[in-house]
Structure 1
C-alpha cells in the first residue's frame, strides 16, 4: 500500500517536531512527554480494541510498554529517589504487566486500569511544573 506525498510529509514533519521538542526539553518536560505519549498509546489501544483492530492494538500496547520500560522506569534514580522512586518503579512494573495481559487477553478493563493509574500521576506531574513556573 502506498502513502501519499502529503501523508509522508506530515509524518516527517511530526517526527522532526518531536525530535526538536525532545532535544530542547528539560528533564521535567521529558517526563511529561512520556506520560502524554503513554496515555495517547493506551487510548489508541483502547479504541482499537473496541474496533477489534488487532494490529493497531498490538502496536499501541507495544509502544506503551516501551514508554514505561525504556522511558519512565529507566529514568528513575533509585539511589537518590528513595521511597518515591521505589514506589514509582513498582507502579510501572505493575502497569507493564497489566498492559501485557491486556494485549494477550484483549482485556479492555486492564487498559482502563492502567489509564486510571497513570492519568492522575501525569496530572500531578504537570501541576508540579506549573507551580514551579509560577514561582510557588
Structure 2
C-alpha cells in the first residue's frame, strides 16, 4: 500500500495487525463516532451529513449482526439489541430526534465497555499462561 498520507498508513496497519477482538472494539468505537457526528450535524442543520453518518453507524451495526457467533446463547440477546439499535437509528434519522441517537449510543457504549473488559481479561489470562511456561 503506497500512500503519501502517514495517517492513512497508520490506520491501515492498525487494522491489519489487530486481533478479531480489537477489530470488534474498533467497530463499536466507530459506530459511536458516527452517531456523535450525526448528532452534531443535526444540531448544525446539516441533514445530509446527519443522514450519511447514521447510515455509516447502521452499516457497522449490520456488520456486527452478520459476524455474531450464534453458537453462544447470549448471541440471540445481542442480536435483539443490535436490531433494536438499528431500528432506533432509522427512526431517529427520519424524525430528526437526537434522543433516539443517545439511546443507541448508550446501548453501544455498554457493548463496547463490556467488550473492552473481555479483551483485558483475555490478555491477563494470556500473560498468566506465558508466565507459567
State whether TM-score is above 0.5.
yes
Q: TM-score range by the shorter chain?
A: 0.7 to 0.9
Q: Corresponding residue for 1:3?
A: none
For structure 2, the residue ranges without an aligned partner over 5 or more in a row are 129-133
Q: Does 1:134 align with 2:127?
A: no
For structure 1, the residue ranges without an aligned partner over 5 or more in a row are 1-8
User: Alpha carbon RMSD of aligned pairs, Å?
Assistant: 1.6
Where in structure 2 are the equivalents of 1:24-63 lying within 5 Å? 24-63=17-56
Distance 2:10 2:78 in 1: 29
Distance 1:49 1:40 in 2: 14
Q: Corresponding residue for 1:67?
A: 60
Shift of 1:18: 2.5
Could you give the per-residue CA deviations for residues 47-89 of structure 1, whole angstroms, max 9, x where no partner exists? 11111111210111010000000x21111121x22x2111111
Count of residue correspondences: 123
Shift of 1:133: 1.7
Q: Does 1:77 align with 2:49?
A: no
Could you give the per-residue CA deviations for residues 29-51 of structure 1, whole angstroms, max 9, x where no partner exists? 11000001001111111111111
- Give the TM-score of the pair, scaled to structure 2: 0.85
Distance 1:51 1:127 in 2: 35
Task: Please give the secondary structure, in 1, of the residue aligned with 2:68.
Answer: coil
Instruction: Indicate which of 92, 95, 118 corresponds to 1:105.
Output: 95
Q: Corresponding residue for 2:105?
A: 115
Distance 1:33 1:114 in 2: 17
